[in-house]
Amino acid sequence: MTNENLKARAHTKNTLLLVLVAALGYFVDIYDLVIFSIVRVQSFRDIGIPESDMRMDGEYVLNMQMGGLLLGGILWGVLGDKFGRVKVLFGSILMYSLANIANGFVNDIHTYAVIRFVAGVGLAGELGAGITLVSESMSKDKRGYGTMIIAAVGVLGAAVAYYVSEVFDWRNAYLVGGGMGLLLLVLRLGTFESGLFKGVEHAQQVAKGKLSMLFTDGDRFKRYIYCLLIGLPIWFVVGILVTQAPEFGKALGAPVTLSAGKGILFSYLGISLGDIIAGLLAQLTKSRKLAVFLFQLLIIASTVWYLSSEGLTPQRFHWISFFMGIAIGYWATFVTIASEQFGTNLRATVATTAPNFVRGALIPSTILFEFFANHLGIITAAYVMVFLLTGVAIFALSQLKESFNKDLNYIEE
């Protein structure tokens, strides 16, 4: 076997390891990200939160977690472009693993919220760094498969979170998440840095991870904003429509209280399948934009089905949650589009901040939803928000250039 063949095999093996590590990292990331939504009611009862306060206190804690994701997205994104993608993978997983272990010992709502904020900061670094690393390490016509695998495997962490919460109490469910993260650090020792990053790592004349560059150039700023806007509907579906399933079920006349935990389980199973479908569709059509557009239409169809389901039974809710999950399963494609729109010296910053700014956008989305809910009712408010967010996403998508097969070996001046 020639040296070239040996090098090719070694590169393939290393790339597969990268994809595996990034996928397992995102698996733990999603577990820790959704565990609060799954154990919200159980944990609130245990620490003495009255039933009447659970909805508002739940939004408070979730918004603190989302605020941490917002801050962490900036922190880890800049660090990823300045010091490397692998360092961010180590640092972020260590932070959120320790925070989730600490969450297993809280006894009041404010400590709960603060620790979820810290966990959110840690959780912010995982996906962007992983997708950037894999995108820069694979050929341009195959990288979509790598990011598809990361997301498809990763979101199954939500299913595991649900089953762990069924077997263990909420405190141990947090401890399990933290423990899995610490174990993953051992596997991370075998990962290697992106070759594209190494090419600019020591280039003194290249500005790396300079956040202000996104705002000082009009074209770059618009590209960035449009990247953020195409992801807006995703977290509204998960953070409001599914997480507040008990409240929506009551408004729809459900015969029994709907389980948010089961809703999250089925929606994330749908997201996993949706990520595979979106990734394959983009590869077959050679257009990530077309894939995302079709998924926006699916979001409208599936949420209308949900919000018009009078007398919603648990079984029907589970199916609807699954299909809403498929509809928002363009998550990895969205992050891949964001990473492909920018040069190597800003790629980690964009790929890490974009998904976390979208997650953080749940805060204003929640505030706006509550405003409409107080004036129009919860069902009408959800209709208004879904059509508003998907409309904005479709417009933003139309303004971006197709990035499939784009050469990523360039820098932002």
Domains of the chain: 11-399 (1.20.1250.20)
Phi and psi (nearest 5°) for 328? -95, 15
Residue type, 195: G
Separation of alpha carbons 24 and 30, rounded Å: 10
Separation of alpha carbons 312 and 319, rounded Å: 11
Residue given tokens 């603060």 in the structure block? 114
One digit per residue, the tens of pLDDT, for the chain of length 413 reads 566 666 556 566 777 878 888 888 888 888 988 889 888 889 999 999 998 888 788 888 988 988 898 899 889 888 888 887 778 878 888 899 999 999 999 999 999 999 999 999 998 887 778 888 887 878 777 787 888 888 788 878 888 988 898 899 999 999 999 999 888 887 766 566 666 656 665 566 666 667 888 888 889 999 999 999 999 999 899 889 998 999 999 999 999 999 888 898 899 889 888 988 998 999 899 999 999 999 999 999 999 999 999 999 999 999 999 999 999 999 888 988 988 898 888 888 888 888 888 877 888 898 899 999 999 999 999 999 999 999 999 999 999 999 887 877 777 77
State residue 265's pLDDT score: 83
State residue 197's pLDDT score: 59
Give the pTM: 0.80
State residue 247's pLDDT score: 92
Nearest to 177 by CA among 34, 62, 360, 355: 34
Separation of alpha carbons 254 and 109, rounded Å: 29
Separation of alpha carbons 268 and 288, rounded Å: 21
Phi and psi (nearest 5°) for 48? 90, 25
Nearest to 331 by CA among 214, 233, 220: 233
State residue 184's pLDDT score: 83
